[in-house]
Structure 1
């Protein structure tokens, strides 16, 4: 019953966005109600956010300078980055010092670190290559494949979502701590490596040869 109510509210949310008729307060209200219904149904409430995000249009209409998704992102980013993410990080980062050393030898923690340091960059880079190869997309004229590599490595910086998935997938508190330590260590390594590569890349002005 709760999920049915959430589906009806999602349909109303989508219809208002589609017709560009809903005010911000109405859309906010519907989003909160969807979250409440999904949470009350027993399904993890983050699913509500995912579904609502997928319902937001990503194409501009005639006369619009930005898409609804871009406007949502612009309005929500200060709240998300300045309030929600820090609160989640502080509440989720309780890691014992022993967990960091244990993460070096635990298979689960090593798997998480490998996924962040290798899996995500390879997936991002290979996905971009595939999209360009299939002519689904093109690189901007000033961008080379070498420029995409450090960006793909930056994708290995995982924190909030990685910790959330670890908590949902691993019931053992010790494994959760070790996984959280692995996420922090791998994210730090990814940030350092990506920063080093970005500093070594020539700027657009420094490139004299044609692309």
Structure 2
């Protein structure tokens, strides 16, 4: 009987079909949105949500006596960053980031889309709390691509490529920020020990070993030692992903090991890791309508909303325009500048990583953390709605162009149906 193997080739047909469904961007975004709604409802229907989130389990001797919310942020989210790291490395080695001329615009757009929101947050919170300056710098890949997939059935594929490249570079920079800025205590001994299982994992995957009962324990040990070192454990997911080779060993075309692992782990990330993290992180307590409006007047909340909606739009669009104006880099021929405005606004959907940075900056469950959640939810919602209005109009335009081209058999630019 064929057995289902995490790293192998065999799987039950039913499990394979379910996994294929879970790889769809729209479903991943729907699960994320559903988990967020459930979290907000649960947080406002009594103390059960907070008690569940703060329940601690795990061995204290191994520095793993964590709350369920902590396990979601440090453990499950490492799977999300593992998948993002695989995608990022694949882009650098065999994708659009391999060609500097094609990568220049989205890479610079990602940098501008992180710098301007941070400046907006700092400007609004001058004289107050600046620990959360990095919160509005993040773009949520899963949510942003899901929104684009729902509203953009006729948008140029170059738009999705631009957004994907921007988002993976954004994630890489966010990971660096988390590792450098939000690491309070560093234990060098544990970090050096983490290099041992990481090196063995690297050696095995470079030899194209995919045996799950060898690789998973090594990955788990690497994660545990990185967590004990004081560096946020999601960094381990990225380090493990970067160790996986992209190209095939025989030099032939076809999916390499990185794409194989990404194919296997994406359903786990989309259906388990990210929704559970969202459930434990997005549960903001709203003390009635007045409590919600009061939260919207707080500088932290306003800084995040303005950073995500205004900062991202100005940063992404402005950086893209400046680079295309003063360098040889050019916008893809299939795109227009209004498309970039919609995409820049969509980059303001900063859900998963923004919530994570907020917890690291202010501490889970603190009054400031509640303001962070309100700001992230409102800012992401406004950005998604604004982007949806623009891109939906652009989608209708591109649909009409496609219809004209389909009915213009002689190529004269005039639909044949209108010719005598």
User: TM-score band (shorter)?
Assistant: 0.7 to 0.9
1:183 paired with 2:370, answer no
Seen in structure 2, the aligned counterparts of structure 1 residues 146 and 53 have a Cα distance that, compared at 3 Å, is farther
Work out whether residues 191 and 229 of structure 2, in 8 Å CA contact, stay in contact via their aligned partners in 1: yes
Q: Which runs of 4+ in 1 moved over 4 A?
A: 57-61, 126-136, 207-210
SS in 1 for 2:283: coil
Cα distance between partner residues in 1 of 2:318 and 2:260: 30
* Alpha-carbon RMSD: 2.9
Shift of 1:122: 3.4
Seen in structure 2, the aligned counterparts of structure 1 residues 54 and 150 have a Cα distance that, compared at 3 Å, is farther
Greater RCO, 1 or 2 (C-alpha within 8 Å, sep 6+): 2
1:29 paired with 2:217, answer yes
> Of 197, 222, 235, which aligns to 1:9?
197
Report what 2:355 is aligned to: 163
Report what 2:275 is aligned to: 86
Moved more, 103-112 or 138-147: 138-147
Seen in structure 2, the aligned counterparts of structure 1 residues 82 and 36 have a Cα distance that, compared at 3 Å, is same
- The structure with the largest alpha-carbon Rg is 2
Cα distance between partner residues in 1 of 2:260 and 2:334: 27
> Of 259, 263, 268, which aligns to 1:74?
263
Cα distance between partner residues in 2 of 1:40 and 1:51: 16
Moved more, 67-76 or 100-109: 67-76
Shift of 1:185: 0.6
- For structure 2, the 5+ residue unaligned runs are 1-188, 406-412, 414-420
The TM-score with structure 1 as length reference comes to 0.82
Work out whether residues 102 and 178 of structure 1, in 8 Å CA contact, stay in contact via their aligned partners in 2: no
The TM-score with structure 2 as length reference comes to 0.44
Report what 2:233 is aligned to: 45
Deviations 1:76-122 (A, max 9, x none): 22111111111111111221113532332111111111221122333
- For structure 1, the 5+ residue unaligned runs are none
SS in 2 for 1:97: coil
